[in-house]
Amino acid sequence: MKKNFFLLLLLSSTVFSVNAQMDSKLLKDIENIESQVIDWRHYFHENPELSNREFNTAEKIATHLKSLGMEVQTGVAKTGVVGILKGNKNGKVVALRADIDGLPVTERNDLPFKSTKTDTFLGTETGVMHACGHDTHIAILMGVAEVLSKNKDKINGTVKFIFQPAEEGPPPGEEGGAKLMVKEGVLENPKVDAIFGLHINSGTPVGTIKYKPGGTMAAVERFVVTVKGKQTHGSAPWSGVDPILISAKIIDGFQTIISRESPLVQEAAVITVGKITSGVRFNIIPETAEMIGTVRTLDPNMRELIIRRMTEMARDIAKAYGGEATMEWQNNTVVTYNDPDLTAQMLPTLHKTAGEANVQLMKATTGGEDFSYFQEEVPGFYFFLGGMTPGNTEVYPHHTPDFKIDDAGMLLGVKTMTQVALDYLNGK
């Protein structure tokens, strides 16, 4: 009996080991496309485009999807592209999403494929850069599309490839991003049952995947504070009202909302002023000043508190110094929420592609993702992919001029997104 027990244990561990491996043909197809995926990434990195202006990017994506024989939709949410791949068997519909826009950042590194592109953003001439890794996301999903198109016999259902513009936010006065895609029906016809997305990370080693069930990334608000003072000569400030001084006091006050009023033991929260504009000349105190910034929250009650207190504080501080201040608010994303059941269902897939030791539970981050708008409509799972050269001690954050990603990280992205789609559709 003891002998039979150990034999059964050996057999079950062997079966588990076999089940934990990727299909050999599928794996070979993925490995064979790695160099092409890297080439695509270099092309998109060298040719970035700003939100809602991704015309060349969209054309290249659409051309590739059409070459695979897919049904392709263009012009979705202005510049988005959607490809539909039907498997050889009927079943559910799974969506895979990649964001495609660059940022108004001037690249400052020595990459042979660095961007030298320029454009105008909010009236200012600026460099354009894939400073958040969206170039890798595009290339990875194009690779997944090619691999799955060669393995339709393994697909029990339909895969919808969503290449989404304007994740970083559409220009003021325009609609865009995931919210507009949802509004235009991207999750319908065929109706999507679940959606998956990834984000490469410059501070996570290549070969590693990080995830979190439930709330993963923050709700994001964009705010504009308009301060009105009274213009006067810079030599006689007592004869006017200085909106620049008032702005400085407001910024200082905002930070006390975080440090003294927000229960940070519950969840993190951030207030950042990213742009301030005022004045034309060194010896003139101007009439107005404008501040633009963001609020990041993970708790709905803290979000309500912070928005209310910022609005009150801006108004009252300006009044105390003889001026006026008004605030405008725009919600950019809601909380990125990973459906707990879907996350648990797909965890074995992450173990299969990355190895269990390389799949790590993470804490929530105050970064924001408009992938959250898809997750409001259907169950979704969003995870993070390592893009840092292992052992690297020089790591540059996202949205900075020196941001870098190791090309070696993309192979695991293709493996995981491919396997996630198949395992979901096949009920594993």
Query: Given 54, 99, 107, 167, which residue is catalytic?
Result: 167
Q: What would the two tokens of residue 57 be?
A: 């990017």
Reply yes or no on whether 101 is catalytic: yes
Please choose, from the candidates 121, 386, 93, the residue with its C-alpha nearest in 3D space to the C-alpha of residue 275: 121
What's the per-residue H, E or C state across the chain?
CHHHHHHHHHHHHHHHHHHCCCCHHHHHHHHHHHHHHHHHHHHHHHCCCCCCCCHHHHHHHHHHHHHCCCEEEEEECCCEEEEEEECCEEEEEEEEEEECCCECCCCCCCCCCCCCCEEEECCEEEECECCCCHHHHHHHHHHHHHHHHCCHHHCEEEEEEEEECCCCCCCCCCCCHHHHHHHCCCCCCCCCCEEEEEEEEEEEECCCEEECCEEEEEEEEEEEEEEECECEECCCHHHCECHHHHHHHHHHHHHHHHHHHCCCCCCCEEEEEEEEEECCCCCEECCEEEEEEEEEECCHHHHHHHHHHHHHHHHHHHHHCCCEEEEEEEEEECCEEECHHHHHHHHHHHHHHHCHHHEEECCCEEEECCCHHHHHHCCEEEEEEEEECCCCCCCCCCCCCCCCCCHHHHHHHHHHHHHHHHHHHCCC
Q: How far apart are CA 208 and CA 204, in angstroms?
A: 7
Query: Given 29, 49, 54, 101, which residue is catalytic?
Result: 101
Catalytic residues: 101, 167
